[in-house]
Amino acid sequence: MIDAAGKIVMPGFVDTHHHQFETALRSQLANGILINDGRPANTSNYYDTILQGFSMVYRPEDVYINELYGGIAQLDAGVTTVMDVSQIHHSPEHSDAAIEGLRDAGRRGVFGYFEGWGDRAKYPADAARIKEQYFSSDDQLTTMVMGGEIYLPGYEEAWKIGRELGLPIALHVVGTFGMQPTFDELGAAGMFGDDNIFIHMTGMSDDGWKYAADAGAHISLAVPIEMHMRHGTPPIQKAIDMGISTSLSTDVECTMTADFFTQMRGLITLQRMFANEKALSAQEYPELMQCMQALRHATMGGAEGLKLDRKIGSLTPGKEADILLLDAEAMNVAPLNNVPGAVVTLMERNNVDTVMVAGQVKKWKGQMLGFDLDRLRTELEGSRDYLFEAAGIERDLFA
C-alpha cells in the first residue's frame, strides 16, 4: 500500500524515439541543425558531427554507460518506457552493449536496431541473432523494433528481415532528406502497414500521409527538436486531422532535454499557436488542443505505437503498473485546481516523486533506488573525455 495523499497518480510516460547512446554528448550540439542542407547555418550539424563524427569512435563500453545513464535519468523524470533508436551498431559487441545498458536501467525498453558503420557492422543481418539471444519472449521488459531508414542503401533488406522476424519497422521520415519520392513510392506499392512507426513525418506530401493513414501506421513527433533543428514544421494538426495514432519523443539530448514535460508543452503550445493565429485572422481554425489530449499522446499514444497498449499506457486493472506519483503540493503546483492542467502546464521533472515499472518501485519519495549515481556519472564523464579526444574535438564550455 502506498499513501498517495497530495499526489497525482498517472501512467508512466512513453518515449517513442530517443538516441540514448548520445547521453555523454548532452548539449554539445545545442546550436546545431539536422544536416548540411547548403543553406547558411551553423557549420556543425547532427549528421556530420554526431553520426559521422563522434559515433564513429564509440567503443562498446561507451555505448553501455551512455545507454545505462540515459535510461536511469529518464526513469527519474517519469519516462517508464523508451524506444531507443541506437544508430551505433558498428559491431555485434556494440549491439550487445546497447541492449545490456537498456536492460540494466530497469525500465521498459524497446531496442531499436538501426544502422552502424565500419567493416564489422552486421546490420541488418545480425537481427536474427539478436532477437533469438535477447528477445525470444514477448513477456519481458525489453522488446525489439527493426530500423529501416529509406535514405540509406539496402533498406529493403532491413524491412524484409524485420517482417520475417515479426518486428515493427521504424524509420525517420524527414522531407529535408529528399526522401519524399521514395516514401510515396513505397506507400503506393502497398509496403506500409500497421507495424510501421514513422518518426517526424515533416515536409511530406498529402499522398504520403494518406498512405500512412490507410495502412494504420503510427507517427512519433519530437516537437521541440523538429522546431529547433530545421526538420520542418511539426505536423501536429495533420496527424490529428488524419486520425493517425500519434506519440511524443525526445530524440537527441545533444540538442534538447529528454524530459516529457517539455515535450507536452511543446506539443500543446505549438498546436494552439497555429490555431489561435487562424482565429485572430478570422480564418476557420481547428479545435484547440486540451491538456488531457497532450497527456494521452505522452502515455497511451506511445503505448499504441510500440504495440504495448495491452500492458501499459493507462491506469487499468490487469495492466503491468507502470505508474507515476507526481507531487501536487510542491511550490510550483499548489494549490491544485486542475489535474491535467497542472501536469501539462506547471510541472517539471522535480515533481516526479515516485516511479513504478511493472509494479516495482524504481524511485521513492524523490530518490532513485538501486544505483550508485556518483560512480555512474564518473564513468559517463570518462566516456565523454575519451569520445572528445578520439574524435579530435576540443571541449569548449562557452562555444
> Can you list the positions of beta strands (E) in 22-76?
none
The whole-angstrom separation of Cα 74 and Cα 82 is 9
The whole-angstrom separation of Cα 199 and Cα 183 is 13
Q: What angle do CA 157, 195, 198 make, to 5 degrees?
A: 85
Burial zone of 84 (CB within 10 Å; 0-12 exposed, 13-18 middle, 19+ buried): buried
| Helix then strand then coil, % of the chain, to nearest 5 | 40, 20, 40
The whole-angstrom separation of Cα 56 and Cα 39 is 26
The whole-angstrom separation of Cα 394 and Cα 391 is 9
CATH 3.20.20.140 is held by the domain 14-319: yes
Residue ranges covered by each domain of the chain: 14-319
Residue 369: left (phi > 0), alpha (psi -120 to 50), or beta? beta
The whole-angstrom separation of Cα 208 and Cα 229 is 22
Please tell me the predicted confidence (pLDDT) of residue 42: 65
Please tell me the predicted confidence (pLDDT) of residue 139: 86
Number of other residues whose CB lies within 10 A of the CB of residue 262: 18
Cell numbers linked to 112: 531499436
Along the 399 residues of the chain, how does pLDDT read in single tens digits? 999 999 999 999 999 999 999 999 999 999 999 998 887 766 689 999 999 999 999 999 999 999 999 999 999 999 999 999 999 999 999 999 999 999 999 999 999 999 999 999 999 999 999 999 999 988 899 999 999 999 899 899 999 999 999 999 999 999 867 777 899 999 999 999 999 999 999 999 999 999 999 999 999 999 999 999 999 999 999 999 999 999 999 999 999 999 999 999 999 999 999 999 999 999 999 999 999 999 999 999 999 999 999 999 999 999 999 999 999 999 999 999 999 999 999 999 999 999 999 999 999 999 999 999 999 999 999 999 999 999 999 999 998
